[in-house]
Structure 1
Amino acid sequence: HYRVAQQSLECYLKGVNYTVMMIDLNEDARVKEKCSKNQQLYFKKHCAASAYLPDTDWMLVLDADT
């Protein structure tokens, strides 16, 4: 039931010069490497963001509830 929100985001991103990354917290190699100690979802999301932050000047994190 989050598909409409995801499609809206994808539509918006077509009109702007932003890069979108959708990270699967359970499958992403970088998250597995850097965040394996974080079993609680809340902390794992923050750890995943910190793992990718060095790659960019700024970051906006959205999740299904945002």
Structure 2
Amino acid sequence: MIQRCSFDWLNRPCLNTHATLMLEAGASLKDVQERLGHSSIQMTGDIYAHVTPVMQEKSSQAFSDYLEERS
């Protein structure tokens, strides 16, 4: 990813992709915030984090697994 984007912290499309892929891979929003150097977790979530179909599927499956374990 870094080479493909000619990584530069001012390259916003790459920041967006980086943050989203980190979240998709299971990183917490706090991890992403610290990685990007943001002072506010709200900024990270509002601007850079997007819910992808993969993330929706993982959340749905995790909730389904949780309910199954409790029954």
**TM-score (structure 1 length as normaliser):** 0.29
Structure exhibiting the larger radius of gyration computed from Cα positions: 2
State the structure with bigger RCO (CA 8 A, min sep 6), 1 or 2. 2
**TM-score (structure 2 length as normaliser):** 0.28
